[in-house]
Structure formats: C-alpha cells, structure tokens
Structure 1
Amino acid sequence: MTNQLGIHTRLTHSLEVSSIGRSLGMMTAEKLHDKLGNGLLAGVSPSDIGVIVQAACLAHDIGNPPFGHAGEYAIRDWFRQPDPQAILQKLSSNERLDLLAYEGNAQGFRLLVRNEHHPDKGGMRLTCATLGAFMKYPWLATHSNDANDNAHNVQKFGCFYSETSQLEELAACLHLPRSTHHDGFARHPLAYLLEAADDICYALIDLEDGINLNMLTYSEVATIFYELIGEHPDSVSLPVHMSVRQSLASCDHAP
C-alpha cells in the first residue's frame, strides 16, 4: 500500500474504468445509430448503452482477491499443496479444476448472480445486458485448463462450474452463440468495450503513477503520449501552476 493519496487504487481504477466505459458505450451507440439509421431498438438511447457499460465496468474487478493476480496465484498454489487434498477429493473433477485454476473473473460472476444481496436467489439481480457486458470470458474452465497446469499457466475463464445454469440462462437471454474454442459462449459485444476501457486505464494510469512515484519523468511520459497522438508541437502553452494530471491531459489538446 502506498502512503501517497495521488496513487491509484483498485477503487479509483474501477471508477475511472466506468467513466471511460460509459463514454465508449455512448460513442459506439451513436455511431451505430448514425450508420445503420435504425441501429438501436425503439426506446433505447446511446446514453442507455453507456450506462450499461458503466455498470459492468464498476463491477469488473469485484471478484479479484487481495493483491490481484498475485492473490489468484496464491490460491491456486495452496490447493496444490498436500493439506487441501482431502477437500479436493470430495469434489467433482470440474469443481477441482475451478480451484486449481482459480479465476477472479469467475468469482466476480458468482458474486453478482449468486452470493451478493440475494444469496441463491439471483444475487445482485442485474440486467442480462449488464451481466453480458461484464462477462469477458463467458465459458467454463474445462477445455481451457488442465489440473496439472502450473499455477501461473492458467487460461482465463469467467464462470465456475457451480454457476453453469446461470451462464446458460444469460446466454439464452442475450442470444449468445456457442463458442467453438471454449466450453461456453461467444462474448457479448459490449464486453469488448469494457475490456477496452480497462486497458486504456491501465496503460495511462500506470504512467501517471510512475511520475507521482518519481519512477518516470514528465518528459518521458509526454513523449509516449505524443507518439500515441501522432504529433509533437514545438511548444505547448501551459499555466504556471499545473498538476501532473493536468499537464498530461494538455498533451491531447496541444495546438
């Protein structure tokens, strides 16, 4: 944990991802509506799509254990030790695989549809569209992983065997086709927007935190930003007193 308040945490990350996800959802819906003429269902507005993606983004890390991916590795490693073997022997092969290949994304789906607020009665009772946008990996661990895989060599999946029926119901509601590569279904289109929002935040936030932690200089990060933008003005007019975040934001608005 850092003592600096300006460094991003899991909470601030989810809030920022949700903000970007909302913008991407609205922009995409507007483009579809303009290009297709009647690209949205009657009564559905671009802002509705934005809110769906926003809600999914707020929940996208809800299943992650402490310390993120390192926590996943720790859980997988623990179930490979001698002590838990008596527990694993009481489970089916699919249930054992869920623990040996433990995935925060699958735990997130479990929390949303089963554990939180209304245990075993729909969980948080989110809309199918929101759950579809949330599901980056709408398939089971089977066919993607093996019980003998290394704890660090695990293919991502988004649903534990115990929530198979909920995944089936969700896919039927959203008309998701069966996946030809996994034991599950193809992604909902809005899930790609959630993943894009997550990637954008990780890419930019890490650079911003690097400056605040004195691991990177502003000029180093600005150079990266200008390469992404595709132009580098000779001079940028900035106020005398400006925060790192304001300075980086100004790169995108340079004359």
Structure 2
Amino acid sequence: MNWKTLYTSKRLGDEKKYENEKSDPVRNAYLRDYDRLIFSSPFRRMQNKTQVFPVPGPIFVHNRLTHSLEVASVGRSLGKAVGVKLSQKYPEESADFHEFYRYDLPTVIATACLAHDIGNPPFGHSGESAIRNYFDNLSGETKDTLEAELSENQLNDFRRFEGNANAFRILTNADNGHKLTYTAIASIVKYPTDSTNGFDKTTGFIGTKKSGFFDSEIEIYRKVAAELNIRVLDDERNTYARHPFVFLMEAADDICYRIIDLEDAHRLRILSVQQVIDLLLPFWEKDEKTYNYIKNDKLHRIEDNNEKLSFLRAMLINLLSQKCTEAFLEHEKEMLAGNLNKSLIDILDTHTLACLKNVDKISISDIYNHKSVIEIEIAGYNVIGALLDEFVTAILHPQRPKSGKLLQLIPKQSNIKQGDLYNNIQIVVDFVAGMSDLYAVDLYRRITGITIH
C-alpha cells in the first residue's frame, strides 16, 4: 500500500460528484462526510444507546453519542499529528498529497470515529451477544428453514453478528443517503473480512479477530479496496489488510473508553476519587517532573473531585495520543505492508502497557461486572431476543394476521422481498439493531404486554 493511493474524495455510489467537490473552496468532500454523519438518523439515535452504564439516569454518564463525539475529538488530533509528520517526511510529493495529509486527514479520522459505533445495537455490548444468542439457539421450524435457505456465510452474519460489520452496512446502504467517500468508509473497517473467516484468533492477524462486513456487502468492500489499493491477503477468504487510517480511529477509541469509563464509575460512586487517581497517576512515574507537578501541586489546588479527574483525563488523553502518534510513525512500513498485527495502544512502551493493564483489571472487576451493568445486559437479552422472535416469525409466516401488523412497524423504506429470506431477516436485524434502548423497551412492552423496570 502507498500513502498516495490510500485516499480519494470519490464517493461510493455517487462518483460523478467527484470533480465538482474537488473544486469547492469551502466544504470539500471530507468535511461533507463529517456533516452527513452528524445530521444522520443512525447517529442521532446513539443518544439513547447505552455505552456501559444505563441511560438515562439522574447522574450524567456517557452514551454512545457522547462517547463517539469525544472519540472524534481525539481522532482529529491524532490525524493532525500524523498527517503533518507524513507531509514533512515526504516533501517531494504533490500539492494534493500535502493538502490531504496536513488538512484533510484530521477530518477523515474524526468522521471514522463518529461512525465507529453507529452499527451497535441497544443495551451496550450485550446487544451484539443477544442477537448472536438468538440465532445460535434457534430450534424447530425456524432453525430448519434458515439452515435450508441460507448459505453458511449468510447464517454466520447472524450467528456472529458484529457491530462493526453492521456499521459498514449502514454507511454503504444505497438507500440511506450517506454516500461517503471511499476514504472515510475504509477508515472504519477494523476487521476486513467476512463473518465466516472472522472471529479467528488462531491466525495472529488483528483483522480477523471479528468481522467487518456481511455477505451482502462483500462486493462493496471489494470495490472500496480496489479503489484505494488496499492489499488483498486472501481473496478466497475475503480477507484484506487493514487500511492504515483504521489504526488511528481505533487508537482514539481505545484511549477514550478506558479513561472515560473510570470517570463515569466515579460519578456513579462505583470507584472513589482516590482509586481513580491511583490508577491514572502512575502513567507519569517515568517523567518525574510531570509526576511531581500533578501529584504535589495541581491536584492539591483543585478542590472539586470531579474536576480533579477531568484534569487527569485531559492530561492522560494528551499523553497517550502522543505515544500513539509515535507508534504509528515508527510502524509505518509494517502498516503499509499489511503486517502490523497489534493495535497502536498494544505496542506502546512496557510501563504504559502495565498501567493500562491495571486500568483494564479494575474496569473488568468493578465496572463491567457492576450490578447496574449486568442488569442492563440481562434486559438486553430479554428484550432483543423477544423482538427478534416476533419479527423473524412474522417474516417466516407473513400470512398470519399478527405478522402483517408487525411488519407494518418496520420502516417503509426497507425493501422486504418475497422469496429472499436472507434479505428479509437482515431487514429485521437492521430494525432491531437500529433501535435506541428506550424504543426497544417500549416496543417490547407494547408487543408482549410485559412491563420491565
């Protein structure tokens, strides 16, 4: 892969606008990508989707929307830092090259960050598990029908449902009006393989830990990869190298969720302020001057505990962003060859990795297994499972009176096709995965007559 061919302002599905937008002095194609996402319905719905802790509540915690906005802010900074360095490293390149990497790359990374969670279902990460669980445990006529009519790859799209692949589907759907640039679309695909060849940790390749596109979008990704000269690793297995920009989007997310989850846990009184300080302060132990300034000066002058953690959060985001920028530039050749098999956060220095490991340990034991988190996960299994059961049954038996009523609830722009079971089940999953937590619970209550709290 080559930095010169890894970007284009051409739009997927609207390539004719390419020349017109290139000459727009105010809003180029990359800024339009960002704006289109901000104003899109799937993006707005993230406001009522759980990040970790249940929403809404009396104490503000992050939802998918606020998380994505913060990740975009960090991603923009990473894009700027890397873009300027690449421009300086290759002074002989064209004016277009320098224009893109100095001024447009930050917007591309910010856009990818905005979209990185757009495919996630309601109820946090348990939403993905709930969808997988439903299709994994089908029985009777429903199981027999799906196994008879769907290919292995199509079945795996449901049994191994993945929010990243769903995001790619949402952003490339010809009917939803996004029509983003090839560059923005490629920058969100963390796992460039299909559902059958993903979820394979034996390969040692970071891109096959999960999946990045469904069977229905394989040809679309092929088109994106061809346009940007993304390396094909295994054509028969639909497996590609990661686009290098993905590493920056991923780093922004990795930085944010680790720190922000601690901040939210403190606001909810799950962790004390001292517990969080004890986790974050060690990141500067190798920098004695900064460590002493923070510990013995700055933290003593800030009286409000929330503000103390806000200060530490800002400092740590800056520190980790600098380290990830350096890691990106140090591993440039591996990325361009498609051989970098770790995230940027996982190739930082040993001291930083040890500090991150301590954060992860507490997050798993005290945050992700907290009662309130487990309760929302259980609710997710119940609600999503019940909704899928109702609508999948309606797809399989459209002649039943109740089925017709249920299918009327699915947005009219969804194209249910007679005789195309894969497409129709996908539409059901699109509908359920696109719901906010509140809408899913409300619809569940209305359909089943059961009230949950």
Q: TM-score, normalised by structure 1?
A: 0.85
Aligned to 2:120: 64
Residues 192, 145 of structure 1: alpha-carbon distance in 2 compared, 3 angstrom cutoff: closer
Question: Is 1:141 matched with 2:203?
Answer: no
The Cα RMSD (Å) is: 2.4
How many residues are paired up? Answer: 240
Cα drift, residue 162 of structure 1? 0.6
Question: Is 1:7 matched with 2:61?
Answer: yes
2-structure distance, mates of 1:188, 1:115: 23
Cα drift, residue 42 of structure 1? 4.3
2-structure distance, mates of 1:75, 1:90: 19
SS at match of 1:163: helix
Residues 57, 116 of structure 1: alpha-carbon distance in 2 compared, 3 angstrom cutoff: farther
Cα drift, residue 184 of structure 1? 1.9
SS at match of 1:43: helix
Aligned to 1:242: 304
Q: Comparing both structures, which one devotes a greater share of its residues to helix?
A: 2
Cα drift, residue 186 of structure 1? 0.6
Residues 4, 24 of structure 1: alpha-carbon distance in 2 compared, 3 angstrom cutoff: farther
Question: Is 1:102 matched with 2:161?
Answer: yes
- Specify the code of the residue in structure 2 equivalent to 1:41: F
Matches within 5 A, 1:175-186: 175-180=229-234, 183-186=238-241
Aligned to 2:186: 132
The answer on whether the counterparts of 1:136 and 1:195 sit within 8 Å (CA) in structure 2 is yes
1-structure distance, mates of 2:109, 2:163: 19
**Structure 1 unmatched runs, 5+:** 119-123, 147-153
**Bigger radius of gyration among the two:** 2
The answer on whether the counterparts of 2:273 and 2:305 sit within 8 Å (CA) in structure 1 is no
Aligned to 1:121: none
Q: Tell me the alpha carbon deviations over residues 191-235 of structure 1, each in whole angstroms, 9 at most, x when there is no partner.
A: 000100111111100110111111112122112222112343251
2-structure distance, mates of 1:155, 1:44: 31
2-structure distance, mates of 1:209, 1:104: 23
Aligned to 2:321: none
Residues 249, 32 of structure 1: alpha-carbon distance in 2 compared, 3 angstrom cutoff: farther
With 174-183 and 211-220 compared, the bigger mean Cα shift is at 174-183
The correspondence for 1:112, drawn from 171, 185, 200, is 171
Cα drift, residue 144 of structure 1? 3.3
Aligned to 1:82: 139
Residues 249, 173 of structure 1: alpha-carbon distance in 2 compared, 3 angstrom cutoff: same
Cα drift, residue 145 of structure 1? 5.1
Residues 215, 38 of structure 1: alpha-carbon distance in 2 compared, 3 angstrom cutoff: farther
Aligned to 2:73: 19
Q: Tell me the alpha carbon deviations over residues 65-93 of structure 1, each in whole angstroms, 9 at most, x when there is no partner.
A: 11232111111121122153123421122
SS at match of 1:250: helix
Q: TM-score, normalised by structure 2?
A: 0.49
1-structure distance, mates of 2:191, 2:126: 20
Aligned to 2:425: none
**Structure 2 unmatched runs, 5+:** 1-53, 201-207, 317-453
1-structure distance, mates of 2:257, 2:198: 26
